[in-house]
Amino acid sequence: MPPFDTDILIVGAGAAGLTLALDLARRGVDFRLIERNASPFPGSRGKGLQPRSLEVFEDLGVLADLQAVGGPYPTVVTYEGGQAARTQVHEVAPPTPAEPYGNPLMVPQFQTEAVLRRHLAAAGHAPAFATELTGFEQDADGVTARLHTPEGEVTVRARYLVGTDGGRSFVRHALDIGFPGETLPFRAVIGDMPIAGLGFDAWHRWYTPDAQLALCPLAGTDLFQMVAQVADEVTPTWDLVRDLVRTRTGRDDLVVGRPTWLSTLRVNLRLADRYRVGRVFIAGDAAHVHPPTGGQGLNTSVQDAYNLGWKLAAVLRGAPDTLLDSYEAERRPIAAHVLGLSGRLLGQMGQAEGMRRGRETRELDLTYRGGPLAPDGRPNAGESGRVRAGDRAPDAPCLAANGTHTRLFDVYQGPHFTLLGYGVDAATLATAARPGVKTLTVAPQGSGQAADLVDEGGHIRDGYDLAAGTLLLVRPDGYIAALSQDAGAIRDTLDQWLGLTTSA
Ligand SMILES: Cc1cc2nc3c(=O)[nH]c(=O)nc-3n(C[C@H](O)[C@H](O)[C@H](O)COP(=O)(O)OP(=O)(O)OC[C@H]3O[C@@H](n4cnc5c(N)ncnc54)[C@H](O)[C@@H]3O)c2cc1C
């Protein structure tokens, strides 16, 4: 076999591919990111970043830039039968010590991807545009891929291939992975365009049961995202958009500017039978597609990539291959849940409260409990079992040893595992620690113990349901790996996942 050109070939530079690339870049993993399109996709598509994705993007170091280009969701104004009713899309959820981002952030997808590309460039990487995967074969050691590039046909040999190549995924088809589900009757013309005369302070929605029109102002731009339900297949044109806006709003004063993106939407609910075949994985829309209602698609795709990135890096450094099996085992049930949720929300669109979104869309309660990395029977329960291995690791404000304010998310930020000893002395903690694991002692509130962190206010205790003497191991992707009073059990968990021996 020819030598390897790269460790990981990422196919598709959408939200999932870019997130995976950024995560691998900060881990120092060698990869190539290819994109069939000659230039970045211009559409706003996934415009809602859910609170859990904001936490992911904070860890990846891109959140401040996303906040700089994004903004809050406006209220919805529904026009029906000559009446206008104003409703809040999202129940307002103020930040809490455990959940710093209560509400979604609106960022058009082209902006999100631009921010990710900028950070990737700062790390010395860029997608190879106009480069299409046209075929591949795998063997026991790697994958040989054929690419169509501006310079001609090229062969690339990689240890792993990840298909983040969207809903029509070439990689999924080539692997012959089933994609069962249904195509729903809902059809729409979608696009982005300036509209003079329409207030930018509301998400406008004209409603009749089979002729909805929604115009959402896109934070950080002068564009509206249009979703106009249509009965039949149509060719989307600027003229059609002008006509749809005029007839459905009943207003002649609105001036529709040239669309910057125009397309049609067919809604599918489909989930791939498998996420992995040997050395090839699929992630994002390649693995699951569902209606845009509830704003879950991009978020689920980003979080697929975030789940896979640290596992690929660990296995390349010697962790057991079974760690990679946990990607499908953890992420496929999440996608199945999201399919159900977004399908149900689509069904509610005709109701008065149809645009209302609650906690279920924020993705903070998604858990890997009971999965291969958090099986029952493992040392995994806190005092009451309320917080368990597999759950999202909450944030908590606390004090650093020098008395300055910090928070657990600052401690977790980076590509490492984090091991906290809550009321555990440094010597005991050291017996569980492993190379590359960030290890800190925590003094419970009022204990007066000398430690790396002080749980002032008891937010760590409350968030994790902790008693003094507990060790808490947090995964690189911000989920609880183990909670135990037994340092040996924590050490064994680390050794098992990272393929270390107890003498490492
Ligand atoms: C109107 C609308 C509104 C939406 N709203 C939301 C929302 O509010 N929130 C949300 O979370 N999601 C939303 N979504 C869904 C979201 O846009 C998708 O889930 C998201 O784009 C998936 O990202 P991805 O990276 O998996 O795939 P994509 O973004 O589709 O990226 C795949 C990439 O792979 C490339 N590619 C394909 N084949 C090849 C090949 N052979 N070789 C090389 N490259 C290839 C493609 O060119 C493409 O750039 C919305 C979608 C629509 C249409």
CA distance 206 to 114: 32
Q: Which atom of ligand 1 is nearest to the CA of 47?
A: 8
CB 392 within 8 Å of CB 52:
yes
Please state, in angstroms and rounded to a whole number, the distance separating the CA atoms of residues 411 and 25. 20
Residue 190 gets which letter from DSSP?
A: E
Q: Give CA 440 to chain center in angstroms.
A: 28
Please tell me if the CB atom of residue 45 comes closer than 6 angstroms to any atom of ligand 1.
yes
Question: How many angstroms separate the CA atoms of 215 and 242, rounded?
Answer: 13
Q: Quick check: 504 and 495 in contact, CB under 8 A?
A: yes
**Mutation to probe ligand 1, out of 19, 36, 136, 303 (largest number of atoms < 8 A from CB):** 36
Q: What percent of the chain has pLDDT over 70?
A: 94
pTM of the model: 0.95
Q: What is the pLDDT of residues 267-323, one digit of tens each?
A: 899 999 999 999 999 999 999 998 877 778 899 999 999 999 999 999 999 999 999
- Is the CATH number of domain 6-70+100-179+271-362 3.50.50.60? yes
Question: How much is the pLDDT for 502?
Answer: 38
Question: Which residues does residue 162 pair with via DSSP β-bridges, in sequence order?
Answer: 10, 281
Q: What are 426-450's pLDDT values in tens digits?
A: 999 999 998 889 999 999 999 999 9
Fold of 397-498: Glutaredoxin (3.40.30)
* pLDDT, tens digit (0-9, with 9 covering 90-100), for 172-225: 999 999 999 999 888 999 999 999 999 999 999 998 776 889 999 999 999 999
| Rounded distance between C-alpha atoms, residue 383 and residue 347, angstroms | 41
Provide the percentage of residues in the chain whose pLDDT is more than 90. 75
| pLDDT tens digit sequence for 43-77 | 999 999 999 999 999 999 999 999 999 999 999 89
CA dihedral 317, 378, 470, 442 (to 10 degrees): 30
Is residue 113 lining ligand 1, measured as CB closer than 6 Å?
Answer: no
Instruction: Report the residue among 165, 170, 281 best suited for mutation to probe ligand 1: largest number of ligand atoms under 8 A from its CB.
Output: 165
Distance between CA 9 and CA 21 in Å, rounded?
A: 10
CA of 375 to the centre of ligand 1 (A): 33
Question: What is the position in ligand 1's atom list of the atom closest to the CA of 17?
Answer: 25
The protein residue whose alpha carbon is closest to atom 49 in ligand 1 is 14
CB contact set of 351 (below 8 Å; sequence gap of 6+) = none
154 CA to centre of ligand 1 in angstroms = 25
Calpha distance 57→294 (Å, rounded): 19
Residue 164 confidence (pLDDT) above 60: yes
Q: Are 282 and 174 in contact (CB under 8 A)?
A: no
E strand or H helix at 335, and its extent? helix 322-347
- Name the pLDDT band for 385 (thresholds 50, 70, 90): low
Q: Mean per-residue pLDDT for 362-373? A: 87
Cβ contacts of 123 within 8 Å, gap of 6 or more: 22, 25, 26
147 lines ligand 1 (CB under 6 A): no
Ligand 1 near 129 CB (within 6 A): no
pLDDT of residue 469: 93
Query: For residue 90, what pLDDT is reported?
Result: 67
Local confidence band at 378 (pLDDT 50, 70, 90 cut-offs) = very low
Phi, psi of 270 (to 5 degrees): -145, 145
Ligand 1 atom with the smallest distance to the CA of 227 is 1
What values do phi and psi take at 359, rounded to 5? -60, -30
At 470, which helix (H) or strand (E)?
strand 470-474
For the segment 459-501, what is each residue's pLDDT rounded down to a tens digit?
Answer: 999 999 888 999 999 999 999 998 888 999 899 888 888 775 4
Which residue has the CA at smallest separation from atom 51 of ligand 1?
A: 45
Q: Which of 264, 271, 263, 262 is nearest to 343 (CA)?
A: 271
Instruction: Tell how far the Cα of 41 is from the centroid of ligand 1, in angstroms.
Output: 9
Name the pLDDT band for 374 (thresholds 50, 70, 90): confident
> What is the Cα–Cα distance from 181 to 417, expressed in whole angstroms?
37
Q: Is 296 in the pocket of ligand 1 (CB under 6 A)?
A: yes
Identify the CATH class of 182-267: alpha beta
User: What value does the mean pLDDT of the chain take?
Assistant: 91
Indicate the domain borders of the chain: 6-70+100-179+271-362, 182-267, 397-498
